Structure 1
Amino acid sequence: MKPIINIKYAFALSVSLIFIGSCKKEDKFLDTKPNQNLAIPSSLNDLVNLLNNETIFNRGADPALGEISSDDFNVADIIYPNLSLNLERNTYTWQKTLYDATFTQIPDWNNPYAIIYYSNVILETLPKVSTPAQQTLADQIKGAALFYRGYSYYNLVQTFALPYNAGNATNIPGVPIRLTSDLNSRPQRSNLADCYKQIIADIKQSIILLPVVPKLKTQPSQPAANALLARIELALGDYSEALNYANACLAKYSSLTDYNKLTTPSTTGLSKTYLEEDIYHSTLNNYSVFSRTFNYVNPSFVALYDVNDLRKTKLFTILSNQAQYPRFVGSYDIRSLKYSGIATDEVYLIKAECLARSNDIDGAMSALNTLLIKRWKPNTFIPFSASKQDDALNKILLERRKELLFRGLRWTDLRRLNRDPRYAVQLARVVGNTTYMLPPNDPRYAMPIPDNEISFEGITQNPR
């Protein structure tokens, strides 16, 4: 990794964004820190306002190269040359080389490491500025910093490391782990087992420090941390632990949005306000390929939705005279970005899958039906049932595919499900007269480390 340039650059840019584009909840920190050279937090309020910077921690914070590489959408031949970046075209067609000299700052790498830098600054500053009388607030600040650090490292390993293999995790390169804000520290890549150990430790520790109900949807909470651990354990294939964390989340927050009550959709999202089921709000890095005029969903996929399933009309639209190109408009984000946060629909699906894998078929279908009844027209939903484990898993995984479209989760699902021949998928895309393929378990399921990190830091590159 190249902390002297990349992380410092990301930090300087982040500070500039704080001062130039702040929202009201950040104003107090900005008013007292008018010079970015003096932007060193010196009080708990400074740390609170730093954490409240949505530009850094939430908006476009999550890596998106995996979403571009997944099978959630297609790009028409006429559009493909018009994508803004070679990086987008190369990623879409699973090229061995993604980066070029025209695009040296890779946000999928830089943004998470900027968040990690901020989190480390906060964790190091906190003991110096807190007093016993402020313990509750100090605990919440520490919990938030740990959550953000663990969340960012998880996103990094999903993008830049190969899928987890319990039998070989100590031999699989992960990402560099930075637990200090010292920009002169230049760690090499940790192995994948150690990366996940750190990720899980951070988030577990955050649970006891975070509030049950956050002040804002963009802030972490106990339900969000439990849901994130459920997501992580599902990716690791530990279904018992994933179920435990899913249940822990739902015990404290289980609200679902009734799609029948969605009355004010925008042209690019489900609602102009945060949805009730949104537990923690964040969005993907905003590449041009995510524009609804640049991509479309396969019509055969849209046809999988029942006529009484409201997702068929709420998640998709048809632009004039383009019936062959359904467009996704179902983001949970209110600013037209692609939502990648944590919501209860995902948690119910995790619970359903884990119950099915433990052969609790009735429990699995009950969890699934709790979600689906909120998606269908009134008095039309017939509860799903399953005759055996495979039947239940097939139905749950299909509904997961239909529910979590364009949420940045499909890439991880492909990576984990490819380990099971029953669910392995060979991806294919045709651009012009050329067919591109991505077989299951291919080395290209890990993005290459940005070239400048390799050149300056000497860390190992992913084989492609």
Structure 2
Amino acid sequence: MKKRYLTLALAIGLLTTSCEKDYLDTSPTGSIDAGAAYATTKNATAAINGIYRAMIVRYLSSQGHFGHPAMMIILDVMGEDVVIPNTSNTWHLAETRWQAHRSETSTGDQLPYELYYRLIGNANIAIANIDNAAGAQSERDQIKGEALGLRAFSYFNLVQLFGKRYDAAAKPNSQLGVPLILAPTTEGLPRATVEDIYTQINKDLAEAATLLTTTRSYKSHINLEVIKGFQARVALVQQNWADAAKFAAEARKNYSPMTATQYQDGFSDISNPEWMWGFDHLEDQTEYFGAYHSYISCNFNSTNIRVDPKVINSKLYNQIPATDVRSKMWVKTPTTANSIVPTGGVRVAYMTQKFRLPGTPSTSTMGDIPYMRAAEMYLIEAEAQARLGNNSAAASVLFDLVSKRDASYTLSTKTGAALIDEILFNRRVELWGEGFRFTDLKRLNQPLNRNDANISSSVAVLFDVPAGDNQWEFLIPRREINANLAIVQNPL
């Protein structure tokens, strides 16, 4: 049967592959037949694993558009901090130029829409069916809580990209968001308001928090602490400072900042004590040249890494104290002695060393991917406290994090806007390459400004975009407009 609703067809597709017994007993991997998926909690666990797996597969047959990790890279190259140094390799060039997300037929524009609605579609199937699955109530609660978390996570990403920024001073935010699909359906729905989307996100997260605990089998799965991390992220975007500070503190409670030694280990191992949630890259799940570390690491032996290594904005890097371990994550003047590259790889100024795989060069992309780290929670809590006017509390939280990065760091005595600027500077440095810069600029209502740094005009093309400009919104993909008569396009 032909589906009018594009994203539902994509979602159902995930649950049509065959079931293998091994998949029922391992961390995220394949998926199972839709008819049997929720007969038992054991089968339902395999179906949930399939949703996690759908986060990291290639979409639209494009090796550079490998699910959520690709979006992490794309949203950073759309900012000013993660820099593509030349045009020797064209992956993510249209995204950095702000061309892809403003073309309704481009792969870069279709990726987030298809990706996150596929997750939503499968989460909806889980939420609708898990209550009747045979198994322990605790297992049903776990699966439902994870599904609610995945749905909230997906809508949070969609509304930030396809809707206008949330403005706490303009409640209710009646600007158009995305279709709000809460049950399996074949009907196309109109775009809900941004306010309605955030209301549902918060509802899903609150319910998930009642179902989940801190216990989980794999760090690649959502637990209560990750849900609280989501709640902190959402509250920050909604300028709900009190909740942002509260949830961030609760989320990070059982995690500590990594040591300076651990910080230099390569950001590719989920066992790092600071990682709260991430992709645990298993041997049977490799994406080869369509993997996160094929584009962001310093040493994977791919054409992209050899000819076009990612670099940091020179203006940002030059503000990092030499005593800060994070300054070692990039090399201002790279040589064979102070930088790692694959065989035949070029060395360019300010090139990254943050993400690194075992081996020199590395011929495996089996690196884990950080979706959420405790450091982010420290920074959310500090920013929220500063915006509440609690300067001493904000400075204290910031110190707890930054002093682990820089032994010479002293407790900040700044207040007000100056303190917030210090926190945001540390956020840019700390979370470089992890997918936050575009949405941070948008939530802060700041312009894109790529001027006076090491950014090539032939690469970036676009250097300035005013805050609030229509270009901050992704276009609804043409495939969705053609399939869903109820939907309308964003302003061109």
TM superposition score normalised by structure 1: 0.83
Q: Distance in 2 between matches of 1:441 and 1:236?
A: 16
Indicate the SS of the match to 1:247. Answer: helix
Q: Distance in 2 between matches of 1:73 and 1:43?
A: 45
Deviation for aligned residue 1:346: 0.5
The match for 1:327 is 352
Q: Distance in 2 between matches of 1:432 and 1:226?
A: 42
**Percent of residue pairs bearing the same amino acid type:** 22
State the number of aligned residues. Answer: 439
Q: Does 1:373 align with 2:388?
A: no
The match for 1:116 is 120
The match for 1:92 is 96
Task: Encode CA deviations 1:52-102: one digit per residue, 9 max, x unaligned.
Answer: 2331246754344433311222223433xx314xxx333321238744767
Of 176, 181, 184, which residue of structure 1 is paired with 2:184? 181
Indicate the SS of the match to 2:178. Answer: strand
Q: 1:77 touches 1:431 (CA, 8 Å); kept in 2?
A: no
Task: Encode CA deviations 1:233-291: one digit per residue, 9 max, x unaligned.
Answer: 1111111111121122234x23221122457x3xxx324443211112159x9588655
Distance 1:257 1:15, change over 3 A: farther
Q: 1:66 touches 1:159 (CA, 8 Å); kept in 2?
A: no
Moved more, 319-328 or 217-226: 319-328
Q: Distance in 2 between matches of 1:44 and 1:93?
A: 46
Q: Does 1:431 align with 2:457?
A: yes
The equivalences for 1:47-446 within 5 A come to 47-53=44-50, 54-57=52-55, 61-62=67-68, 63-64=71-72, 65-79=74-88, 82-84=89-91, 88-95=92-99, 98-99=102-103, 103=107, 106-130=110-134, 134-166=136-168, 167=170, 169-182=172-185, 184-251=186-253, 253-261=254-262, 265=265, 269-282=266-279, 290=296, 291-293=304-306, 294=308, 295-314=310-329, 317=339, 319=341, 322-327=347-352, 329-330=354-355, 335=365, 339=369, 341-376=371-406, 380-418=407-445, 424-427=447-450, 430-432=456-458, 434-446=461-473
The match for 1:9 is 10
Indicate the SS of the match to 1:70. Answer: coil
Q: Distance in 2 between matches of 1:219 and 1:257?
A: 21
Q: 1:96 touches 1:444 (CA, 8 Å); kept in 2?
A: no
Q: 1:348 touches 1:367 (CA, 8 Å); kept in 2?
A: yes
Task: Encode CA deviations 1:408-446: one digit per residue, 9 max, x unaligned.
Answer: 11112101222xxxx655345653395543222211111
Deviation for aligned residue 1:403: 0.6
Indicate the SS of the match to 1:256. Answer: coil
Q: Distance in 1 between matches of 2:149 and 2:236?
A: 18
Moved more, 172-181 or 62-71: 62-71
Moved more, 161-170 or 403-412: 161-170
Q: 1:146 touches 1:206 (CA, 8 Å); kept in 2?
A: yes
Moved more, 194-203 or 218-227: 218-227
Unpaired runs of at least 5, structure 1: none
The match for 1:452 is 479
The match for 2:334 is none
Q: Distance in 2 between matches of 1:312 and 1:345?
A: 16
Task: Encode CA deviations 1:285-326: one digit per residue, 9 max, x unaligned.
Answer: 958865545332223322222111111214665656634241
Moved more, 238-247 or 98-107: 98-107
Q: Distance in 2 between matches of 1:104 and 1:414?
A: 19
Unpaired runs of at least 5, structure 2: 58-65, 281-289, 297-303, 332-338, 359-363
The residue type paired with residue 468 of structure 2 is N
Q: Distance in 2 between matches of 1:322 and 1:27?
A: 36
Task: Encode CA deviations 1:381-412: one digit per residue, 9 max, x unaligned.
Answer: 23232242222112111111111111111112
